[in-house]
A and B are shown apart, each in its own frame.
Chain A
């Protein structure tokens, strides 16, 4: 089996419109969580979100072409442009036929659908915009990436709620490792800020009224975010031969289903997914120095995830250093795993682990080695990035440092 290198990164989210500003904000402990602008939040039980600030699609598309894309698909293409440019890959037609695009999205172009349905239900009009379907379909991000670069190999979208991007990256990793694809662009994108969807999240009673405090005893829920992120994957041998910069390797991928409850998590499924990611990558638990946690900041997730981490790695003081970058970029649902993969890969590459901000009080239910409030230097050989979804679908990526 081939080793799989990560040679390009792209990201856009509340912390920045490209990887450099995203990473700098993460290390500085900057929060991208602010009062929501897209929707009038008067009368809501929460007001905060992590939106991409001052975003103007016209900066990325000429002549109104952006109108064909829902905001979530725009984020997908913007991240793909940066990642492919970063990789230095010359996408010839021959290579494009052997390149895969695998993207995650939980809710797709729901704001386009919401806008269309407002026309018929609220304003009583008999028709909606003709591009509502192509904008709203969850695969639009993958489709627009393939068209943008002329990529004609396998292209698909995974939709497993908050695990969507990890499932996408994991499947793309397996495709490159096995030789099904030579190159893969993999990640996720999401843009969940519409009135209808925010009301639905409010009804779930899992959204924090203000900030996100993962693993803190006084945590009060998640904060929604948006954005997109992409990793360029290729065989390590190929990357080395063309002299590419290698950020690290994907070592393994593990997935599992809780088969337990549609919203209540359990620790067995997440622990199984972590163990499978380790086994798939031939890693021993002791090799893992860092975990970018799912860490949503909900009462249930953080306690269950902490238990799962202890089940896999033990409770010793040398257990992996855990962070939740959602404390800064919010919970970007189908893009979450992709943003967090970029954060985990850069932590591995640079030896600095971004903090979990807003941490105030230790919780006996969350007994883990948390990187709290300040970034921490740590030379790590391997790390995990966890994603666990409503519906009990778990996906864990294992990364390791590249050695020639």
Chain B
């Protein structure tokens, strides 16, 4: 007999009963529709305990690697602890360990925290009760290595003011998350990869690139950074440092004609660049991070260039943060 834990309730699931039925019977509020494993409305996540493979049919590699499953197809043979997917109610404390200037007016913030995450995911950083900012992780989850964030200062923004002026080493911040399903999953090592990012998504794309390189990905990797202003060119030096001379990846900056010129810089639209450089993207895996309207546009461009929807990894616009008036405190900690 399997025991199920979900949002404060504990159930003994009788044999042959699926998780969805068991949860509903116990009065849990879980979304569902088809109950035959197609619509994915009842997708949940196991944070402890294995789920049967049949319960993951049709899910993406990234979801499978995070133990997502379809509750209606899941008849567990062991105990599992269940959460809703993409939950944002995990809070953690971190300590600012360094802050410095990067190229092109960007700021780099490093934070020590025991966060389990994947390169490319994001967290909301709360620097006081009211000021939270969604930041993607540029670091790799290695032991004893700080979390790294790249922040573009914006005039009149409270988080920007904090990161450019008010922050001190040793400050305590609160992290909410991590969230996001856009990350590298090892496997298919010969498959060509496109990493496309704009604005706030560039650090995430940089993290995913490092992850793919660390996993010895063999296929071509192209890094496409769409720059809206000079600050968005800041990764040039970091990318050059990553380049070990073995041509393991290529990077391209896509810019408006008046912004910049030089090697690796393409003046024009992302869609035109894709067509000129690659022709078709059939068979490619792609990762897209950044500002939602740009992400939707680039997703469409990559799809129309021939990529399969299953191979396009990009976060739907999950709302992260707290309802107005709610100030996160340690008592919110869910784990």
A and B assemble together: no
Residues of A within 8 A of B (CB): none
